[in-house]
Amino acid sequence: MKIDLRHKYLSRPRYNRYLQATQSDISRAKRLYNANIRLARAFHPLLMSHPLLSNSRYFLKESISNTERKLRRRKIAITSGKLLADQTFGFWTALFLGHHYSLLNGCPIHVFPHKPSSENRASIYTKLEKIKEFRNRINHCEPICFNGNHIDCLDADDIYKTLYDLIAWLDPQLTPFFSDIDNVPSKIKLIKRI
């Protein structure tokens, strides 16, 4: 990207982080910025990207109601399958909030039949919330290759491991499917070489 276009479309404070991390090496900063975008894009198949909805006391009810209204407008039959398929990552994460979880008599945990016995509602909620926050950083084009001003993919590595843990806890047989479409490790290696 030409410098004038970069300054027109990317905020200077955002791009300056890349310059600082590369000791003002313009070529390295450009490569790092592009590599960060590729790394963020690589996470999308694993993250099931959707916009985050507000966490209110009636969040789950409103999510279902919104789907029902949308289906009615489109004159599509309302089925449980259609309702479930339209829910966001925020909806599924909210099932592990204490008040929702207790109203559902702890049923959400059963979606992870292969989880270690040390994992519970709170630990799973924490993992899902971290993934959701990371996904939001990706969707807002925030850098995911820094720790302060240093090039560092430890957060990305941590989220990557957590995603595969959760996938295996759902069903270990799902892991090869995601491994076949996964190119996150190669994108992290690329950033580490910059």
Distance CA 191, CA 32 (A): 6
**Burial call 153-172: b when 16+ CB within 10 Å, e when fewer:** bebbeebbebbbbbbbbeee
pLDDT of residue 52: 34
Question: Which residues partner with 150 through β-bridges?
Answer: 147
pLDDT of residue 40: 73
- Which H helix or E strand runs over 147? strand 146-147
Amino acid (one-letter) located at 74: R
* Backbone dihedral angles phi then psi of residue 92, each to the nearest 5 degrees: -65, -35
Average pLDDT along the chain: 82
* Backbone dihedral angles phi then psi of residue 150, each to the nearest 5 degrees: -105, 140
**What is the dihedral angle through the alpha carbons of 119, 93, 64, 113, rounded to the nearest 10 degrees?**
-30
Tell me whether residue 177 is exposed, middle or buried, using C-beta atoms within 10 angstroms of its C-beta: 0 to 12, 13 to 18, 19 or more: exposed
Question: Which residues partner with 151 through β-bridges?
Answer: 146
pTM of the model: 0.71
pLDDT tens per residue, range 64-93: 888 888 888 998 877 767 777 788 888 889
pLDDT tens per residue, range 90-121: 888 988 988 778 777 888 899 899 999 999 99
Q: Where are the alpha helices (DSSP H) in 22-174?
A: 26-47, 59-73, 80-85, 89-94, 98-103, 121-139, 154-170
Question: Which residues partner with 146 through β-bridges?
Answer: 151
Mean pLDDT calculated for residue range 142-170: 92
Q: Roughly what angle, to the nearest 10 degrees, separates helices 26-47 and 184-192?
A: 160
